[in-house]
Amino acid sequence: MRKLQLLLVALVLLTLTGGLVRAQDPEPIKAEPGVELNMVLLPKTLGNAVFDEAHEGAIEAHEELENPGELIFNAPTPDNAIPGQIEIIEASITQEVDAIMISANDYEQLLPSTTKAMEEDITVVTWDSPVSPEGEDLFIAQVDFTEVGSVMANMALSILGEDGGQFAILSATPDASNQNAWIEAMQTLLEEDEQYANLELVDIVYGNDDPDDSYNEALGLVDSYPDLELIMAPTTVGIAAAAKAMQDEELCGEVAVSGLGLPSEMQEFVENGCSQEFALWSFKDLGYLTYYVSYLLASGAMEAEEGVVFEAGRMGTYTIEADPNREDGLRVLMGPFSVYNADNLEEWAAGGDEEGEPEVEATEEAN
């Protein structure tokens, strides 16, 4: 009798333990292809190569999921960035689309329109640059925002050396929530970590993610700070424009340019010494992942809740998590970072691996 009781207890414990394991390791949610959904991909502006790459990724996912609905790609011009995004969101509401995927030009000003869209049962997913959490279902984060600050600080230290020197930041717009968060994270490191003590940040300027404005701002920095040794641009438009400005003024080797850049646009500047090192992630993958998440949410296959595990096609399994950088926010963290320089120039210029990404040393991936 005693043995029978122990056996029954063991069976109960085994059952409970198995249930706990299953609860901790749920079966990933998978998308059902063929659901008709009209979806809008809304980047910050038109004419930016990284957003074109994100569009390519979204098209790939759209075709893979066999969505008979429409994938609409639309964005404002740089001189009408915030009002233009609001107009497109409002038009999308009128058209009764099923999902809007936004790289936001402002953290707060889009909220009336994005919350209105959500009230109309339109899925709102932000990517690259979020809005305040109440105005979105969740955010697709390319990398952790604090990590961007760390990568930029490390590149500045690598370029300027332990003796340091003066550098300035050329950002996109004063309202860009992603760039502002990255810069804030970098400033925190400069203030709190002794290894960056000799890096002197002298100014932060904005080129409005416009090539001409960014070019002129870079020249203005050189004129204003004769001892400037580095321009750090956390924007692909800004870094290419700054490198071009230094090239045209024959300042390569005197004023370095670094930040976040698109390899195809930065190759010549690495080769001629205008840019020693820069970093980025795959915008094609970001567009692909954003589309997959939005499709899952808009089709009703998945809820935007912390702990939900899902599959995103070729990119594998992800988990919705609390956003540590935004109270009450939810995010899906993509990763990883890749760092590009002359040491791996031949590899990344040739296209890297078969997916088009260079096999270079990167920070730890956290899905």
pLDDT in tens, 138-180: 999 999 988 999 999 999 999 999 999 999 999 999 988 899 9
pLDDT at 321 over 50: yes
Flag whether pLDDT at 99 surpasses 50.
Answer: yes
Q: What is the pLDDT of residue 366?
A: 31
Q: Can you tell me the mean pLDDT for 190-213?
A: 96
Cα–Cα distance between 32 and 3 in angstroms, integer? Answer: 49
Q: Which of 183, 139, 158 is nearest to 331 (CA)?
A: 139
**Percent of the chain whose pLDDT exceeds 70:** 87
CA separation for the pair 59, 74 (Å, rounded): 13
Distance CA 243, CA 241 (A): 5
Q: Looking at this protein, which amino acid is placed at residue 1?
A: M
Percent with pLDDT over 90 in the chain: 81
> What CATH number labels 39-143+283-333?
3.40.50.2300
Identity of the amino acid at 91: A
How many other C-beta atoms can be found within 10 angstroms of the C-beta atom of residue 275? 30
Residue predicted with more confidence, 264 or 213: 213
What is the C-alpha to C-alpha distance for residues 359 and 257, in angstroms, rounded to an integer?
23
Token pair of 333 as six digits: 């963290």
Q: Tell me, what's the pLDDT at 347?
A: 76
Peptide bond into 336 cis (omega under 30): yes
Residue 367 has pLDDT above 80, yes or no: no
What is the domain partition of the chain in residue ranges? 39-143+283-333, 145-280+338-349
Query: May I ask the CATH architecture of the domain 145-280+338-349?
Result: 3-Layer(aba) Sandwich (3.40)
Q: For the chain, what is the mean pLDDT?
A: 89
What is the pTM (predicted TM-score) of this model?
0.82
The angle formed by the CA atoms of residues 357, 363 and 367, to the nearest 5 degrees, is: 80
pLDDT digits (tens, 9 = 90+) for 256-305: 999 999 998 999 999 999 999 999 999 999 999 999 999 999 999 999 99
Q: What is the mean predicted confidence (pLDDT) over 62-87?
A: 97
| The pLDDT value given to residue 350 | 62
The residue that leads in pLDDT, 231 or 365, is 231
Does 145-280+338-349 match 39-143+283-333 at the fold level?
yes
What pLDDT score was predicted for residue 21?
41
